[in-house]
Amino acid sequence: MALLRRPPLMLILVVTSQFLQLWIAFGSVNEEGQRQEEFYEELLLKPLPDRKVLTHFHFQSSAPPTSNGRHHHLFPKAISQLVQKFRVKEMELSFTQGRWNYESWGGFDSIPSSNAKPPGVELWAVFDVPQHLIDSLWKNLTHTLSGLFCASINFLESSTAYSAPEWSFPPASGNLRYGTLPREAVCTENLTPWLKLLPCRDKAGISMLLDRPSIYRGFYHSQRLHLTSTESGSEGMDPGIILEQTLTVVLQPNSQRASLAHASEKHFQPSWSLSSIFGKQVSGKCVLAETSNVYLLLDRGLVAELKQLHKENEKSAEKVLISENFWTNPCFELSAKPDMIFIEESSLLSKNSSVLYKFEVEKYSEFEPFDLGLTWKIPVVWLCQQAPLHASRFLMGSGNERGAIAISLKSTQLSEGFMGANSDYERCELRVDVFQVVPWYVKVYFHSLQVFVDQQPKAVSDIIEKIHVSPSKDKVSPGVMELVLKLPCSVSSAALTIEFDKGFLHIDEYPPDANQGFDIPSAIVSFPNFHASMVFLGNDSLNKSPLLSKFKEKSRVMSYTEVLLVPLTTPDFSMPYNVITITCTVFALYFGSLLNALRRRVAEEERFLKDKAAKKTGRLPLLLSKLSAKLRGRCLEPTHSAPASLSFINSQLVLKVILVAGLAVRVKVRIEMYADQVEGAGKRSVKERLNGNSFHNSIPRRQTTGKRQRQDEKWEHDLYHDDVPQVSNRTTDARDLRLKLQRKSLQQVSQSGRGALSGVRDLREKLSGTMNPWPVNADPPKLKSDVTKPTRRSVAVETSEPEPQKAATTAAKKKAQQKADASVEGFLQSLGLEKYAITFQVEEVDMTALVHMTDDDLKALGIPMGPRKKIILALESRG
Amino acid sequence: MAETREKSHKPKPRVRPIVRLGIFLVSHSFLVSVVCCTSGVLALFLLPVLAKNTYISENALMPGSASPMLSNQHVLDGNRLVKDLTNSNLKSSETGIESHKIIAQYMLDLGAEVSFHKFHPQMNQFHPLHFFSSPDSGKIQENYSCSSYGINTVGVIRAPRGDGKEAIVLVTPYNALKSGFGEALSLGIAYSVFSLLTQVTWLAKDIIWLVADSQFGEYAAVSAWLREYQTPKFSSLSTLNSEMCPDINNLFEIKVHSVAGSKFSNSFRRAGTMAAALVLKVRDQGEQFEDTISIYAEASNGQMPNLDLINVVNYLAVHRQGLRVNVEKLRSLLNSSWLKSLGEIFESLAKVAKTLNPKCKFGIPATEYVEGTATLASSLYYQALGVPTGPHGAFRDYQVDAITLEISPKFSLDKVWRNDILLRGGRLIEGVIRSVNNLLEKFHQSFFLYLLTSPSKFVSVGVYMIAFALLIAPLPMVAASLYVDANSSSNFLKGDSSTPSAVTDAAEHGITIRSWKWLNSAKLVFIVHLWGAIVSLLPYFICQIPDCSPTTSFVIWVLLSILSLLILNSVLASPLACVKASQEKEWALVKSVTISSVFIGLGLMSVINFATAEIGALVMVPMCLLAQPLKLDVRAGTLRSCCRIICNLVLGHIAFPPAAFFLLKGMLDGFGSANVGDFWMWVESLWAWNSATYLFIGMVQLPCWVLCVSILFHSC
């Protein structure tokens, strides 16, 4: 039933929402007591002195405080949720690529002081909650924004990445958190979600101009999102929110004239139009927008320069500027007629005033698109208004150990305007706020702060009025320095230096591109005494424009310094590998010798006792005396003894070398063999050997090997022979059984009971057979020590190194002989018929079977007459 | 079997194999040292054979992957600058101000940020304790006249979309007062590249073009600029000083009538951390068969730039621009017949090896071997000298990778060829800058410790260490064997004289005394080394004496050195004399301690400057090993001792630093021009460049020589 009922409901919803939208679109006309959601779109264009054009998009949506739930019609829901959830009072997020050129693009206007941002991402937010809750809210906010804007803002979550400025950051309050990511790359991925917050997206209105390739080809672009939530008047009402989205792009128009590159033409400013710089035109406004305007701003310097030019050319300069047809003046030409011209209210600070042309997009449509163009007729050169001091920051020193950060402030020599205002020139002071965050791995020594004014060192207390420092904590928080400088007005240059040590990071704290170096985020230098504001004279329509009211606001002049790159010591990341290799080698050597010592202890002690009995001298003197005797002999009769000793040594040496070489060859052969093995087989062999060893260790007192072995074999044979009673035994003592199996496979001897073994056993044998084909090869390590002990004892207590080995090898051979007699191969070997061994092996004939084989059986195996007779004879003689 | 049974009656304690090996080596130290030394020298000569081909290790560099954008338009621009500069040179050559203005104007027209940097050429002074310290901002001297200013012109292009954290530096030395045509041409090349780079969109790093005023030397100008860049002085009087000079103030009256956003300012312009630096020079006269480009890479104390930088230049020059790349080589070695025959031997050996195993191919043709050896020798020599081979050395002091490129054109630089050189040189520089621009991280992938045997072949540290290690390996063994020898011989004597009953008592007593005997010799060695330190400090005081010709300074130095030796000897007692009575084998102990001190010295030096240690080891190791009192040899009178006497005498002469210097100089330039003062000049240049070689000679080689000579003339 519910399913059936839903479609009509949906339909109703859709219809009402449609209606609502329509209603809202024209809703601004309705005066309903309560303010409506509003959206404004504006674009400001401004020619820059260095042949570039500044375009500044300004979109503003506002949601009034409402009590009717969380329904918004224009305002982006994501933002309002964000504000409600994280109790954000004010927030600003900016994505920037490129550097704002303070020198040529100006540093005093409200556009640079509020829209020039450091490269990468900058985020600050003021929260409306008690102190202890802020950090957790900040962390959640970063994650939300990170998801919203497809950027790694979530890296600001870590407490090492953000700071809490106390008072030097403009919207100063204790509830502020500030963080930057200087290395964040900005791309269309970030712009698209930003555009989605606009009601018309980039489908209609001014935002249609936002052509991605031309924006990202620009010299600077900064996409900013600023929101303020206004206090709600009464309880239960959601706060009103003003969302301000700006995009500041500096573009270079590629005019045809520049390409001609005539010497005279070079001095012309390039002419441009909206279509030439964006490749698009505006076809009407966004229908949801209250107003949709385009402004052209000629700044103070340019206007002054134009006036100057007019004075040269004509007499009635003043008139022309303000006159209505200024847009077709002799200096430049506009392609569209401005709807209104505003002239800035001349302020105290400067005599010149800027001129603003207003174009209303409303009047244009798809058939008659709006395309503003500016064509210069004469070459003009002007300068933008600068901040009182130009700040730059750089690193000093070299090497991986320490360095210094220097912030240098240079007067821009535009002081007459600013300083003239102050009557008392001598005593006037220029206040400069500096806010600097340094990551913890740059360990700043705040005591080393030095101040130079006009190239003279000054006492810190003379210049710095107020300082707040929160030193960095390793891996916890960055260092923050906030300063208020009081500089004399006549200052021409000032510098601050502060030294730092470069810290060491833990290996997992290095980023993947560690060798690039680490960033120190921009310092913020602001001038609280100076306010960037432009007040335009005109009618009330100006008040409706959010952009112009923004200009009216008195914001303090701010500038960001460069991001610095500090090369830190980076470890060689192949180092761990080397260290592992070296430690393994050392361990192998150490444990090798240790194990050796442990194994030989009993014998050593015995020998030691005997030595003691024989002679009571210590070891070292003995060694020394022997050595000295040797040397003495050589020294006294160098001509006679040296060759003798040499030859003696040589024979011994040669023997040793041969032995070592032989061992090496064998080891190499074995390694190659192992390399050829399948993995499983390889594993098995190791296990085998281990088992073999453990078995050997478990019976240390075995003296006469042959006999004992045979006993074992017999027992084993019994065990295998009568299968049925031994089942229980196998289960109860599996380990024991396995040991036996191991041993058996090791020895490869099948004297009697082989035939009765199960198929599994045979398979195993085959597998292991490839590994240890000959018992002679497999056994020596085990047999050697067994046999050497008796030989050593019999021959001498002291034997030189090759001796026991030789004995061992001979003994091993003998042993092999003994054992070989018990196997088919050995048997055949003794008859000189080794070549038939393979035939027997193929037929899985072992000694037990061989005994029962008749002449016919042998014939069936394909053994010729002679050998057959020999075998039968031998078997008979064995009985 | 028989032997062991024979021995078995005298049981000997089992010693750990490593100790046994040590004892074995010590007891056969003569054989070991002969084998090691010869194999060490042989390994050194094998290095050209073992050299590997270079390869570009850092993937991000991607040299030559983009087609060059430098067009004829840029070349014409460059040509215009060259013409203007040469004209202005004819016009007014009184001061170089005019040409600086022209350069600055050209830079401004491109839209770059321009500034002038005034500097005083700082004389390199000997600071006894400044050897390994990082460069400081230097002291400002008060009384400079206006004429002693140098002016660097600096242009900076900001990367359009870059964040300005890193920069690439392009340096062209230029002497405004008497510039050759080559210098102007190098400016032309740099300008054409610069004009291209103002237009490109791919720049990620800022570009700094430094026109270094080379009237006080190329190095001085570059290092002054770097000092200002890296360690500026905020409180200085120099700028106040400079304002009094009218000439220099003239400079700042450049009319900024360009609209291109060019900025000219009095202040010092900076960009970010320097990623790499290229110094570009063009040689005036062309006498080569081909257009060649020479790479100079050695910086102070044998530091080298990352091999990748050289590889990129080499790759682009050879494979893209068709230039022949040249690395400095010792010309005198090229024609030596013994090297050629050595090369042939190696070649034939390689052939034999190839027939045995077709997989191994290590042989190189004999001619290539000779060239490789000559290059290797010069590489070793310049690294050992510790004096940078060009202005790039100044960058290395600040851990910036830098090389000097010197283009020497085929023909004299008339019109047509000039454009060709401008185009090819410009494209080469463009390619290198583009590669470095691609770099995300600083240079770290490739080698820093290497020797070049040709522009495209190198020997890495892992290989060339072997030769050195083999050379110095016998030193500790011989020292140990001599020590044991000296001890045991005295023991033997004592053991003979005393009665068996008192053996143990006397032996114990003897051991305690003997084990401290070496302290006497150590004292002697220490005194001589102390003297070495004093001798190497003396020049600091001698150079304070005004108006002193090199010859007189040298004579004073020698006299003072001898005097100080005598004084030290008398004050700290004469150890040789007092010990002589008691010990016959004293010289062996002295030799043992000397050898161990030499071993330590060489080992330390190999860390600081490998090439110095290698060359030092070639001379000092045989000298130390062979040193034996002449009296003994004369008494013996055998053929062997005769040989030893001759060797000792020859080595004793060669190893004396001044003698070695004159010998080398004579070999290179002919003996006619040798002058006593030259050595002083050479030493002066060494300490002026803070070369650790100077310390090595003063504190390791000279004391070692003195000790060896004292052993030679030991009266025993």
Given a cut of 60, whether residue A206 has pLDDT beyond it is yes
A205 reaches B (C-beta below 8 A): no
| Listed range (A671-675, B409-413, B565-569) with the worst mean pLDDT | A671-675
Q: Which whole number is the average pLDDT over B403-411?
A: 86
**Which residue does chain A place closest to B111, by CA atoms?**
A50
Given a cut of 70, whether residue A266 has pLDDT beyond it is no
The per-residue pLDDT for A413 is: 66
β-strand partners of B53: B457
Which among A224-233, A703-712, A796-805, B53-62 has the top mean pLDDT? B53-62
The per-residue pLDDT for B237 is: 52
C-alpha to C-alpha distance for B427 and B189, rounded to whole angstroms:
9
- How many C-beta neighbours within 10 Å does residue A575 have? 10
pLDDT confidence of A671, banded at 50, 70, 90? low
Is B259 within 8 Å of A49 when comparing Cβ atoms? Answer: yes
The per-residue pLDDT for B24 is: 87
Which among A793-807, B294-308, B651-665 has the top mean pLDDT? B294-308
B485 reaches A (C-beta below 8 A): yes
Q: Which whole number is the average pLDDT over B174-181?
A: 81
β-strand partners of A525: A434, A559
C-alpha to C-alpha distance for B685 and A73, rounded to whole angstroms:
81
The per-residue pLDDT for B509 is: 64
Give first-to-last CA distance, chain A, whole Å.
Answer: 99
For the CA atoms of B695, B700, B702, B705, the dihedral, rounded to the nearest 10 degrees, stands at -160
A512 reaches B (C-beta below 8 A): no
The per-residue pLDDT for A698 is: 38
The per-residue pLDDT for A69 is: 62
The per-residue pLDDT for B671 is: 67
The per-residue pLDDT for B91 is: 57
The per-residue pLDDT for B101 is: 84
Q: How far is A14 from chain B (nearest CA, A)?
A: 46
Which among A257-261, A450-454, A588-592, A641-645 has the top mean pLDDT? A450-454
Tens digit of each residue's pLDDT (9 = 90 or more) over B122-144: 666 666 656 555 555 555 444 45
Is B444 within 8 Å of A570 when comparing Cβ atoms? Answer: yes
- B 45-74 residues with CB < 8 A to A: none
Which residue would you say has higher pLDDT here, A110 or A810? A110
Q: What residues of B are in contact with residue A119 (Cβ under 8 Å)?
A: 163
Angle in degrees, CA B245, B251, B256, rounded to 5: 150
The per-residue pLDDT for A119 is: 92
C-alpha to C-alpha distance for B316 and B436, rounded to whole angstroms:
13
C-alpha to C-alpha distance for B371 and B365, rounded to whole angstroms:
10
Q: Which whole number is the average pLDDT over B380-404?
A: 90
Q: How far is B186 from chain A (nearest CA, A)?
A: 25
Is A410 within 8 Å of B231 when comparing Cβ atoms? Answer: no
Amino acid at A782: K
- The answer to whether B372 touches B50, Cβ cutoff 8 Å, is no
The per-residue pLDDT for B277 is: 95
C-alpha to C-alpha distance for A103 and A655, rounded to whole angstroms:
84
Query: What distances in angstroms separate CA A7 from CA A10, B77, B135, one per listed residue?
Result: 5, 75, 81
| Listed range (A654-658, A805-809, B80-84) with the worst mean pLDDT | A805-809
CB pairs under 8 A between A and B: 175
Tens digit of each residue's pLDDT (9 = 90 or more) over A487-529: 888 888 899 999 999 988 888 888 888 888 899 999 999 988 8
Nearest to A850 by CA among B383, A866, A867: A867
Amino acid at A517: G
Which residues touch A2 (CB under 8 Å, ≥6 apart)?
none
Tens digit of each residue's pLDDT (9 = 90 or more) over B6-28: 444 545 566 777 788 888 888 88
Q: Which whole number is the average pLDDT over A728-739?
A: 44
Burial class (CB in 10 A: 0-12, 13-18, 19+), B74: buried
C-alpha to C-alpha distance for A175 and A166, rounded to whole angstroms:
9
B399 reaches A (C-beta below 8 A): yes
- The answer to whether B423 touches B78, Cβ cutoff 8 Å, is no
Tens digit of each residue's pLDDT (9 = 90 or more) over A231-247: 655 555 667 889 999 99
The DSSP secondary structure of B460-519, one letter per residue, reads: EHHHHHHHHHHHHTHHHHHHHHHHHHHHHHHHHHHHHHS-GGGHHHHHHHHHHHHHTTHH
Angle in degrees, CA A239, A245, A250, rounded to 5: 160
Is A97 within 8 Å of B161 when comparing Cβ atoms? Answer: yes
Q: How far is B72 from chain A (nearest CA, A)?
A: 15
The DSSP secondary structure of A274-293, one letter per residue, reads: HHHHHS--B-S--TT-S-EE
Q: Which whole number is the average pLDDT over A706-719?
A: 41
- A 710-729 residues with CB < 8 A to B: none
C-alpha to C-alpha distance for B76 and A111, rounded to whole angstroms:
41
- Name which of A628, A649, A657 to mutate to probe chain B: the one with the most chain B Cβ atoms within 10 A of its Cβ: A628
Nearest CB neighbour to A51, from listed B109, B257, B259: B259
Sheet containing A402-411: give its strands across.
Answer: A389-396, A402-411, A493-502, A442-453, A456-458
Given a cut of 70, whether residue B234 has pLDDT beyond it is yes
The per-residue pLDDT for B414 is: 65
Given a cut of 60, whether residue A692 has pLDDT beyond it is no
A265 reaches B (C-beta below 8 A): no
pLDDT confidence of B355, banded at 50, 70, 90? confident
The per-residue pLDDT for A733 is: 45
C-alpha to C-alpha distance for A835 and A833, rounded to whole angstroms:
5
The per-residue pLDDT for A179 is: 93
Which residues touch A492 (CB under 8 Å, ≥6 apart)?
A410, A411, A454
Q: Which long-range contacts (CB under 8 A, 24 or more apart) does B669-678 make?
A: B675/B550, B675/B551, B676/B550, B676/B551, B676/B554, B676/B555, B677/B549, B677/B550, B677/B551, B677/B553, B677/B554, B678/B550
Mind spelling out the 3-state secondary structure of B128-150?
A: CCCCCCCCCCCCCCCCCCHHHCE
The per-residue pLDDT for A607 is: 75
- B 490-509 residues with CB < 8 A to A: 491-492
| Listed range (A77-91, B162-176, B255-269, B538-552) with the worst mean pLDDT | B255-269
Nearest CB neighbour to B236, from listed A398, A455, A611: A455
Tens digit of each residue's pLDDT (9 = 90 or more) over A814-849: 444 454 456 777 788 888 887 777 777 777 777 888
Nearest CB neighbour to A516, from listed B236, B261, B441: B441
The CA-based diameter of chain A, rounded to the nearest angstrom, is: 144
Tens digit of each residue's pLDDT (9 = 90 or more) over B306-346: 999 999 999 999 998 888 898 888 888 888 888 889 989 98
Q: What is the mean pLDDT of chain B?
A: 82
The per-residue pLDDT for B187 is: 92
Q: Which helix (H) or strand (E) holds A53?
A: strand A53-63
Going by the DSSP 8-state scheme, the letter that residue B397 receives in this structure is: T
What proportion of chain B, given as a percentage, has pLDDT over 70?
Answer: 81
- The answer to whether B324 touches B293, Cβ cutoff 8 Å, is yes
**Which residue does chain A place closest to B493, by CA atoms?**
A632
Tens digit of each residue's pLDDT (9 = 90 or more) over B459-470: 998 899 999 999
Is A455 within 8 Å of B235 when comparing Cβ atoms? Answer: yes
Given a cut of 90, whether residue A44 has pLDDT beyond it is yes
Is A803 within 8 Å of B4 when comparing Cβ atoms? Answer: yes
Q: Which whole number is the average pLDDT over A653-664?
A: 78
Which residue would you say has higher pLDDT here, B354 or A738? B354
Q: Which two tokens stand for residue A220?
A: 């600077």
Given a cut of 90, whether residue B404 has pLDDT beyond it is yes
A97 reaches B (C-beta below 8 A): yes
- How many C-beta neighbours within 10 Å does residue A509 have? 11
A757 reaches B (C-beta below 8 A): no
Q: Which whole number is the average pLDDT over B41-55?
A: 91
Q: How far is B488 from chain A (nearest CA, A)?
A: 6
Q: Which two tokens stand for residue B689?
A: 């460049």
Is B261 within 8 Å of A266 when comparing Cβ atoms? Answer: no
What proportion of chain A, given as a percentage, has pLDDT over 70?
Answer: 65
- Name which of A221, A566, A596, A631 to mutate to probe chain B: the one with the most chain B Cβ atoms within 10 A of its Cβ: A631
ipTM over 0.90? The verdict is no
Tens digit of each residue's pLDDT (9 = 90 or more) over B257-278: 444 445 667 778 889 899 999 9
- The answer to whether A126 touches A92, Cβ cutoff 8 Å, is no
Which residues touch A722 (CB under 8 Å, ≥6 apart)?
none
Q: The tokens 């240390």 sit on which residue?
A: A700
pLDDT confidence of A197, banded at 50, 70, 90? very high
The per-residue pLDDT for B247 is: 56
Query: What distances in angstroms separate CA A514 from CA A202, B205, B702, one per listed residue?
Result: 39, 18, 45
β-strand partners of A333: A375
3-state secondary structure of A735: helix
The per-residue pLDDT for A477 is: 92
Going by the DSSP 8-state scheme, the letter that residue B169 receives in this structure is: E
C-alpha to C-alpha distance for A711 and B616, rounded to whole angstroms:
72
Query: What distances in angstroms separate CA A385 from CA A352, A415, A553, one per listed residue?
Result: 11, 11, 18
C-alpha to C-alpha distance for B492 and A346, rounded to whole angstroms:
109
Q: Which whole number is the average pLDDT over A147-156?
A: 92
Kindly report the pTM of this predicted structure.
0.76
Q: Which whole number is the average pLDDT over B657-665?
A: 85
Q: Which whole number is the average pLDDT over A25-38?
A: 54
- B 114-143 residues with CB < 8 A to A: 134-135
Q: What is the mean pLDDT of chain A?
A: 73
| Listed range (A375-379, A408-412, B401-405) with the worst mean pLDDT | A375-379
- The answer to whether A172 touches A200, Cβ cutoff 8 Å, is no
Q: Which helix (H) or strand (E) holds A531?
A: strand A524-532
Which among A397-401, B155-159, B493-497 has the top mean pLDDT? B155-159
Tens digit of each residue's pLDDT (9 = 90 or more) over B471-511: 999 998 899 888 888 777 655 544 444 444 445 565 666 66
The helix, strand and coil proportions of chain B, stated in percent and rounded to the nearest 5, come to 60, 10, 30
